[in-house]
Structure 1
Amino acid sequence: MLIAVVVSSCTKLDEEPFGRLSPETYYKTEAEANSSVAGIYQSFQQVQGVSAPWTISVEGTDEFIVPGRASGGWFDQNNIDIMQHNVKADNQAVSNAWNNIFSEIGIANAVIESLNASPSVGSFKTQIAEARALRAYGYFYAMDFWGNLPLVTVGKIEQNNLPGTTARADIFKFVESEMLAAVNDLPAANSVNKATYYPRLTKEAVYAALAMVYLNAEVYTGTARWNDAVTMCNNVINTGAFGLESNVVESFKALNEGKTKEVIFAFSIDPARSSGGNAYMLYTQPALDQQRYSLPFAPANGFSTQKEALDRYEVQDRRRNLLQFGPQFKLDGSPLVDSKGVQLNLVNCVSFTAAADNEGYRVLKYVPEGVTWSGSNGNTDYVQTRYSDILLTKAEALFRSGTTAEALTLVNQVRTRSNATTLTSLTLKNLEEERAREFIWEGHRRRDMIRFGTYFNTTWTFKTSVTPAFRSIYPIPLTQIATNPKLKQNTGY
């Protein structure tokens, strides 16, 4: 695995035969160490890319659907089962997410092990901290999706010593301790040249991750950690290194990579340099967007949203402009029409299995402005954490611990930026709905709905019954249990 990381991360090995690569012969310089740590970042991109794990973090919520089309495309029972909260242990999307997350964890393990074995280990404190934090981030997602799971920290697993299932609360402790340890050896955002250091982890990026971990601690461990969530948010806020942009869309433009004050952590995307690709436009947009945005490909008319998500926004809320619904127009204001002269009119989706091509509203989060395309892959960086999340996380943690006035001020900061009406009071429902408006399709909704309870006790267009509590986590894939009989399936599956 180490060799694979090295080969995929470097372009020059000075004629070193692959079979002789080792920590002693390779990890001698900072550049060499950075090249392999970059492989962990690249593997971790999928948590916000348009594939599992991202898809299973938004599917099954009231903001995301993948309807089968009457024209024959997109029907997938795996998606339907997730959307209807009827997931089984053989669900391929869930299995893909497991494979992607544990691949990232495995790469991180191999790199950490090799860096620690290098004679130059004393020079690699930052790289080891990055690798530990990224591995912990991977375990955070795994803990969130599956609860109890194998905890592995070695680069190679022996077949006669397979790992068993570790309790979710113990995974939580591992994630927390690893992130806290990593912070000590990471630079602060104000101490680096953002133009050259971006998009690597800073202390503040890990504090932001810990804030998310603590916000959900009661779900994971049974014990609330609201004060710790506030502390982590303050660690970011008090630096003064971040702030809100004038418009939320500024964080999702290719031209703003490394320049926006709102993005705390993002993944570098550049398909022209074999550094991932942003396929958001391909999967989410209607085919006619090829002519609207002069794209070099026709989008595949897949991922959609629904009336419940659109109805959350006030008409004047600028975030509503990210949703496409109703009659569609070109950028010059003329109607967006098909080859027969019929204007595209996006309507609410009413069919799971035979939706018309114009059914389903769309979310244009990663705008095509300034994008360089390699086929259908753009070079816009995937955004993992924004400053608005810090403000709303602190607001919720404060509110839940009884400090309502400051919480209200923080929520109104986010609302005012998008021209939403200022709130005069605050409820838990306000907090949940504000997060839904602000972070639509950013991978938060499932986790938020579970924390607020709405994942279970509310219904929407395609989820018509109450969800049993055991479905707050996904089943461990059958393929994993077949490979490792020491793993114990989650209750209810």
Structure 2
Amino acid sequence: MKKIKYNIMLIAGVFALVMSSCTDDLDVKSDDPLVFLSDEFFEQPDAYRQGLAGVYGNLSLTGTTGAGSSNIQGIDAGTSQYGRCLWYLENLSTDEVIWSYENDPGTREIQRNIWTASNPIFRGMFGRGMFQVALVNEYLRQTTADKLASRGVTDQAQISEINDFRNEVRVLRALAYYHLMDLFGKAAYNDENSALGVAGPEYNRQQLFDYIESELNEVIPSLKAPRTNEYGRVDQAVARMILAKMYLNAQVYIGQDRYADCVTQCNQIIAGGYTLNPTYLNNFKADNHTSSEMIFTLQSDGIATQNYGPTTVMVNGQVGSIEQNGVSLGVGSGGWGGALRLRKQFVQKFDGSDFDNDTRKTIISGVRDIEISDIANRDQGYILAKFSNRTSAGIAGPNSTFVDTDFPLFRLADVYLMYAECAARGAAGATMSQAVTYVNSLRERANSGSTAANISANELTLDFILDERSRELHWEGHRRQDLIRFGKYTGGSYNWAWKGNGSNGIAISANLALYPIPTASLAANPNLTQNPGY
């Protein structure tokens, strides 16, 4: 099979030990008699690999009985899906996209920047992230040398493989804490050595940053080299990508300039053998698992791992209410009836002759008005055609709703742009000539090899980089973080349609650069405190 196999039952049952150890803020239901990661579970053949798949599966799956089920109670499946929540919080709150159906719980407040701590999408993201921590911690408890010996696991090859699994899940735990640190600025800290049944202490951004950095640096030498692991699994480049992202945003997170460290990680990743896919849009099709550009993805499979995750949402949501263009994208002709549209300010980033032949410009205007004066009017605003449930050969995925397209959490193009940004910021170890080379490689790829849209060193400014990141990486879960890093998210120096609940955009307060800790999480763990301004 093309991807690591996720058994939907594996992420269903998290028994009392897991529930009491780390989740803090959740009611997690278990309806599987053979609960995941119990002693009984590890009596099964191949249990250690199945358990690993279950930990990975939490990034895609939500429950026991298909895409409509969730093992986090109190919210629906889509609202608790890891990648979808991440996409809502990183993209829907910005200038790139708007969601038509504002009766869907939580969406109206996020895209108008008027949220409160009771928003269910915050609970879904915070809860799913802490759930991931819980799964990793229990997997590590159940795979110690003593546990293996007590079960008669003595084969050295098997023990070595299990140790590889342990190293991988530690990176997955660091990834969850990285997202919690970025979005919420704090989280409850637990690891495999934490006391069971005790609410974890609150870690602030500095503490989380230090923990993640230390954990990844410790585990990187023991991870598989880039591009040598099974597709969809962690390797050294994934861990370095998390570090690079942290160092790029360190000024926001901990008030320190770590751009030189970001450059170091970028160089290591680039040396790992990744290459740009010659065709930009092949990174967003149903066979994007074959792209040489992918560093780490959140997996989607229209048959085996059906979920209402980000790519299913984006492909179906792209289908225009007027155009009915779903068949061309590999889903039903009407898709989700114009659920997603583009805010004007994003569209305008492709204005000018430089972008006449840019393959990244998949914007469909037709008879539409660029302005969205009424969010409920699905005929207003341009639409996008970036993501597709068709393969690079044009073959539609086997399901017309649930897509085969993986969500590209980390890819090489982002590394090139991170390096370029560090160079523009004067980071040690980065040169402007190399930065221009990296940016122009993306522009040449976008222009079918033509150098007509290439830039010079003088044009490589920070304002250019912020816009170029949106042109290259739109809808890939980066935009909020980028706007905050460039000082364009809060305040009024840059406004976009419906920012702050104004049709033309208004300034928003500085506290909105962090999301609030969900009300349910505060109630469940008395060690957690609310972020300022909420």
Pair in the same fold by TM > 0.5: yes
Letter in 2 for 1:392: L
2:339 partner SS: coil
What is the distance in 1 between the residues matched to 2:360 and 2:35? 55
Structure 1 unpaired stretches of 5+:
11-16, 68-72, 328-344
Output the CA distance in 1 between the equivalents of 2:188 and 2:357: 44
Gaps of 5+ in 2: 1-5, 13-32, 62-79, 154-158, 500-504
What's the TM-score once normalised by structure 2's chain length? 0.78
Of 489, 493, 496, the residue aligned with 1:460 is: 496
Q: Are 2:392 and 1:371 equivalent residues in the alignment?
A: no
**Residue in 1 aligned with 2:464?**
430
Q: Is the 8 A contact 2:178 2:242 kept in 1?
A: no
Q: Distance in 2 between matches of 1:9 and 1:93?
A: 20
Q: Does 1:133 align with 2:154?
A: no
**Which amino acid counterpart does residue 166 of structure 2 have in structure 1?**
I
Which of 166, 171, 177 lines up with 2:214 in the alignment?
Answer: 177
Given candidates 218, 230, 233, the residue that maps to 2:263 is 230
Query: Displacement of 1:349 after TM fit?
Result: 4.1
Corresponding residue for residue 330 of structure 1: none
Cα distance change on mapping 1:170 and 1:134 into 2, 3 Å: same
Superimposed CA distance per residue, residues 154-208 of structure 1 (whole angstroms, 9 cap, x where no aligned partner): 498755x32232111100111112222222221113545xxxx112111112212
Offset at residue 292 of structure 1 (A): 4.5
- Partner deviation per Cα, 1:114-161 (whole Å, 9 max, x = no partner): 1223334554121011100011001100000100221122498755x3
Change (3 A) 1:363 1:41: farther
8 Å CA contact 1:63–1:441 kept in 2: the answer is yes
The answer as to 2:393 corresponding to 1:383 is no
1:20–1:150 Cα change, 3 Å: closer
Secondary structure at the aligned position of 2:297 is classed as: strand
Given that residues 303 and 362 in structure 1 are in contact (C-alpha distance below 8 angstroms), is that contact kept between their aligned partners in structure 2?
yes
Distance 1:34 1:183 in 2: 20
Q: Check if 1:488 corresponds to 2:529.
A: yes
**Which residue of the partner structure matches residue 253 of structure 1?**
285
User: Residue type of the partner of 2:287?
Assistant: L
**Structure 1: how far apart are the matches of 2:400 and 2:169?**
31
* Residue 477 (structure 1) aligned with residue 518 (structure 2): yes
Following superposition, the deviation at residue 392 of structure 1 comes to: 0.7
Q: Which residue of 2 aligns with 1:70?
A: none
Residue among 78, 99, 122 paired with 1:66:
99
Indicate which of 319, 323, 331 corresponds to 1:285. Answer: 319
Q: Cα deviation per residue 1:366-400 (whole Å; 9 max; x = unaligned)?
A: 22323323351012222211111111111111221
Q: How does 1:68-107 map to 2 (within 5 A)?
A: 73-76=101-104, 78-107=106-135
Distance 2:180 2:347 in 1: 30
Q: Is the 8 A contact 2:82 2:125 kept in 1?
A: no
Equivalent pairs counted in the alignment come to 453
Which residue of structure 1 lines up, in the alignment, with residue 42 of structure 2? Answer: 26
Deviations 1:270-314 (Å, cap 9, x if unpaired)?
A: 242246464132233225124545634631121221221111124
2:294 maps to 1:263: yes
In structure 2, distance between residues paired with 1:187 and 1:373: 32
- Is the CA contact (8 Å cut-off) linking 2:368 and 2:382 kept in structure 1? yes
Give the C-alpha shift of residue 53 in structure 1. Answer: 2.2
Mean CA deviation greater in 132-141 or 360-369 = 360-369
Residue type of the alignment partner of 1:248: Y
CA contact under 8 A between 1:101 and 1:142: conserved in structure 2? yes
CA–CA distance in 1 between the matches of 2:52 and 2:374? 42
Q: Is the 8 A contact 2:10 2:36 kept in 1?
A: no
Q: Say whether the 8 Å CA contact 2:183–2:515 is kept in structure 1.
A: yes
**Aligned pairs for 1:9-20 within 5 A:** 18=34
Residues 405-416 of structure 1 aligned to structure 2 (within 5 Å): 405-416=433-444
Q: Distance in 2 between matches of 1:294 and 1:452?
A: 37
Aligned alpha-carbon RMSD (Å)? 2.9
Change (3 A) 1:363 1:45: farther
Q: In structure 1, how many angstroms separate the alpha carbons of the residues matched to 2:263 and 2:384?
A: 31
Structure 1 residue 317: deviation in Å? 4.4
Report whether the alignment pairs 1:186 with 2:202.
no
TM-score relative to the length of structure 1 = 0.84
Alpha-carbon contact 2:332-2:401 (below 8 Å) kept: yes
Structure 1 letter corresponding to 2:207: D
What per-residue deviation string (whole Å, max 9, x for no partner) do you get for residues 396-423 of structure 1?
1122125433322222222222127111
CA contact (8 A) 1:53 1:96 kept: no
Q: Does 1:299 align with 2:299?
A: no
CA 25–383 in structure 1, closer or farther in 2 if over 3 Å, else same: closer
- Answer yes or no: is the 8 Å Cα contact 1:6–1:36 preserved in 2: no
Higher mean C-alpha deviation, range 386-395 or range 88-97: 88-97
Q: Aligned to 1:348, which of 351, 366, 370?
A: 370
